């Protein structure tokens, strides 16, 4: 559905015609632009926008189906950008992502939002309160969306760092690391990191193109050259996020390895204890088994002190084995 449609002139919102074609013509004549925001539109709802603004069918297909990687595509009459905003849910300590598709052309911006994590309402509100920035045209909208998305990445990275510290404390606690749920929690956390990387990693090359620092292609049309320093600032922030994500991924892998090593050590300790007690139980069992055999010619059978001597021998051997295993740390 269409969430908002407005014409902007000199950085201020104005009332324009309801027809998209008339609004676009009026905005171009006045040196302004049209900004249309949609939320999970159907194909029928999007057909009118596609026809009026001449959007490329391949980009339209991506915008309707969603599930795209962050990217920048250049068509004859427009640009198509994909952002993946990320939301951290503190109740479940999980990360979920949405999608924002942006069509940028001569005198128009069309934004398509999928999911609940997109910051478009806040971006529009911010821009409408900063007319000097909004006056720079459609490029300001793209910059504001990129800036808001990457800034929120930094917040999510901070939350994940806190969760990782809690997980690390649990793994290396005297008793917490042995919990059978710890490994599954570490794995779930690694999945959250992977979801985060899918949003942040592919966004680097498009921002470099917008900032003019990419060597993979020429400049980007429909983007004001004076906006390049702003996109470079966003790209620097994204680089910090990607470095943080890489660090989180390495740390959680190390924590998983440490947890598995701890589990292996605990299992070895348990096996040594079981082996020590089994050895201690085997000695009296062996002696009792020998005397339990029905042999007639056993010289000590007729001896008065045979029974106390055998019991004392068993006890002495048990004490000797106990002290030996205790000294070696098996018990």
- Tens of pLDDT, residues 212-269: 876 665 668 888 888 889 999 999 999 999 999 999 999 988 888 888 777 777 777 7
CA 256, CA 250: separation in Å to the nearest integer? 10
Report pLDDT for 25. Answer: 80
Residue that the structure tokens 């808001």 belong to? 148
69's enclosing H/E stretch is none
Q: What would the mean pLDDT of 127-152 be, rounded to a whole number?
A: 90
Is residue 35 classed as helix, strand or coil in its secondary structure?
Answer: strand
Residue that the structure tokens 């950008």 belong to? 81
Are the C-beta atoms of 213 and 80 separated by less than 8 Å?
A: no
* In the predicted structure, residue 116 carries a pLDDT above the cut 80: no
Q: How many angstroms separate the Cα of 267 from the Cα of each of 204, 253, 264?
A: 45, 21, 5
Report pLDDT for 285. Answer: 83
> pLDDT tens across 78-92, in order?
899 999 999 888 777
Determine whether 317 is exposed, middle or buried from the number of CB atoms within 10 Å of its CB (0-12, 13-18, 19+).
middle
* In the predicted structure, residue 119 carries a pLDDT above the cut 80: no
**In the structure, what pLDDT confidence band is assigned to residue 175 with cuts at 50, 70 and 90?**
low
96's enclosing H/E stretch is strand 94-97
Are the C-beta atoms of 3 and 38 separated by less than 8 Å?
A: yes
> pLDDT tens across 297-329, in order?
676 767 777 778 878 888 888 888 888 878 777
Widest CA span in the chain: 125
CA 71, CA 245: separation in Å to the nearest integer? 19
CA 135, CA 151: separation in Å to the nearest integer? 22
Report pLDDT for 238. Answer: 94
Nearest C-alpha neighbor of 121 from the set 94, 144, 96: 144
Q: What is the mean pLDDT of the chain?
A: 84
Are the C-beta atoms of 183 and 143 separated by less than 8 Å?
A: no
């Amino acid at each position: 559905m269409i969430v908002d449609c407005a014409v902007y002139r000199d950085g201020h919102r104005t009332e324009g015609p309801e027809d998209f074609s008339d609004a676009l013509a009026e905005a171009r004549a006045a040196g302004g632009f049209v900004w249309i925001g949609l939320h999970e539109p159907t194909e029928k709802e999007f057909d009118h926008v596609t026809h009026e603004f001449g959007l490329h069918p391949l980009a339209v297909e991506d915008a309707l189906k969603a599930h795209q990687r962050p990217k920048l595509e250049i068509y004859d009459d427009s640009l198509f950008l994909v952002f993946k905003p990320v939301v951290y849910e503190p109740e479940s300590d999980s990360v979920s992502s949405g999608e924002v598709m942006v069509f940028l052309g001569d005198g128009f911006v069309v934004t398509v939002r999928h999911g609940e994590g997109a910051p478009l309402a806040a971006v529009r509100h911010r821009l409408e309160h900063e007319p000097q920035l909004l006056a720079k045209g459609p490029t300001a909208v793209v910059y504001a969306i990129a800036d808001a998305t990457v800034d929120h990445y930094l917040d999510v990275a901070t939350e994940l760092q806190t969760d990782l510290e809690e997980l690390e404390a649990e793994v290396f606690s005297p008793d917490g690391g042995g919990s059978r749920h710890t490994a599954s929690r570490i794995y779930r956390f690694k999945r959250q990191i992977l979801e985060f990387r899918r949003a942040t990693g592919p966004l680097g090359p498009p921002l470099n193109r917008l900032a003019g620092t990419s060597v993979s292609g020429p400049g980007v049309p429909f983007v004001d050259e004076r906006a390049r320093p702003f996109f470079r600032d966003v790209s620097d922030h994204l680089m910090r996020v990607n470095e943080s994500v890489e660090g989180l991924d390495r740390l959680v892998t190390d924590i998983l390895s440490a947890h598995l090593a701890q589990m292996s050590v605990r299992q070895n300790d348990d096996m040594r204890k079981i082996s020590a007690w089994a050895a201690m139980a085997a000695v009296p069992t062996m002696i009792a088994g020998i005397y339990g055999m029905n042999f007639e010619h056993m010289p000590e059978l007729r001896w008065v002190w045979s029974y106390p001597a055998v019991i004392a021998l068993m006890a002495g051997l048990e004490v000797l084995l106990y002290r030996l295993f205790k000294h070696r740390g098996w018990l």
